[in-house]
Structure 1
Amino acid sequence: MFPRKFYRLVFAFLMSVFMSFIMSGIITFLNLGFQADFFEQWLLEAFPKAWVVAFPIVFFLAPCVAKLTEFLMRE
């Protein structure tokens, strides 16, 4: 579907979407509980804000984390 040269960008996009979706849902639930406007608060407020932060973090830190993991796995 996508050329291999876009791997890092696609990876960062997908990882940040999944991570921020799950984390913002959990944190919203812990902070508000399950209220009538839970999904509105989660999907329209918390998730977009979390994703805007998560995407650049994943994009820039994933290569460093991969190298650190590789270093720690050496015997």
Structure 2
Amino acid sequence: MQPIIMAAIMAFMMTGFVTWLNLGITPDFMLQWAKAVVMAWPLASVAAFVAGPLAPKLTQRIVKAVHGAES
């Protein structure tokens, strides 16, 4: 359930920002934003489920590489 909620928050925020960048504040801004969220949320959910297990592993590799370079 967490990836779905996280994806919803990310889709909501990102589509709002990108819609604003592309259109500005127009009379139909909210409608266009809502359409973008509906389109983005499913893809964001899939991405969250795929990236969820990979993110900690990748983070560990990056941290090891950074700390290994400091030694």
2:4 aligned to 4, 13, 21, which one? 13
Structure with greater Cα Rg: 2
Q: Where in structure 1 do 4 or more consecutive aligned residues deviate above 6 Å?
A: none
TM-aligned CA deviation for residue 73 of structure 1? 2.0
SS of the counterpart of 2:58? helix
The one-letter amino acid of 1:72's match is I
Segments of 5+ residues of structure 1 without an aligned counterpart are: 1-9
TM-score (normalizing by structure 2): 0.83
Percentage of pairs with the same residue: 35
Aligned CA RMSD, in angstroms, stands at 1.1
| Equivalences, count | 65
The aligned counterpart of 2:32 is 41
TM-score (normalizing by structure 1): 0.79
C-alpha offsets along residues 12-67 of structure 1, whole Å, 9 cap, x if unaligned?
Answer: 11110111000000111111110011011101x10010111100011111110111
The aligned counterpart of 1:70 is 60
Segments of 5+ residues of structure 2 without an aligned counterpart are: none
1:60 aligned to 35, 46, 50, which one? 50
Task: Provide the rounded CA distance (Å) in 2 between the counterparts of 1:70 and 1:13.
Answer: 24
